[in-house]
């Protein structure tokens, strides 16, 4: 904080006020953690939306084999996407712990 405080002749510093805001994206690990968290939320929400859309497509297929196959594929890919997103979150968390970087906070 000495670099931000005003220095007067005679080597006396003016201390900054004590109630300065703190937190935010002040470090690279915080910025990366916020970015990864946002991407995880988007991936999980997209997977859940595709699960719902696949279920709606299945129920509205009316017994048509082609529509059922398309709905089944959509449900399968949504579940795979959800598993990949959760697995990626776990892997990033393991790497963060291994390297001693707190990415997601406590």
Within-domain flag for 93: yes
Within-domain flag for 67: yes
**Dihedral class, residue 17 (left if φ above 0, else alpha if ψ from -120 to 50, else beta):** beta
| Mean pLDDT estimate for the chain | 81
Tell me: the pLDDT tens digits for 58-106? 999 988 999 999 999 999 999 999 999 999 888 988 888 888 777 766 5
Within-domain flag for 45: yes
Tally the domains of the chain: 1
CA count, 13 A, side-chain hemisphere, 106: 3
Structure letter (DSSP) for residue 92: H
Sequence-distant (≥ 6) Cβ neighbours of residue 60 within 8 angstroms: 67
Q: In 10 A of CB 85, how many CB atoms?
A: 19
Q: Can you give the pTM of this predicted structure? A: 0.65
Range of the domain at 62: 27-99
**Cα separation of 86 and 33, whole Å?**
15
Within-domain flag for 66: yes
Within-domain flag for 12: no
């Amino acid at each position: 904080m000495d670099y931000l405080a005003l220095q007067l002749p005679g080597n006396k510093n003016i201390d900054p006020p004590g109630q300065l805001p703190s937190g935010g994206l002040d470090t690279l690990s915080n910025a990366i953690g916020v970015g990864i968290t946002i991407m995880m939320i988007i991936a999980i929400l997209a997977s859940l939306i595709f699960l719902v859309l696949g279920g709606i497509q299945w129920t509205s297929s009316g017994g048509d084999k082609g529509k059922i196959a398309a709905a089944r594929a959509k449900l399968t890919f949504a579940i795979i996407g959800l598993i990949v997103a959760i697995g990626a979150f776990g892997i990033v968390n393991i790497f963060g712990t291994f390297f001693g970087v707190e990415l997601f906070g406590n």
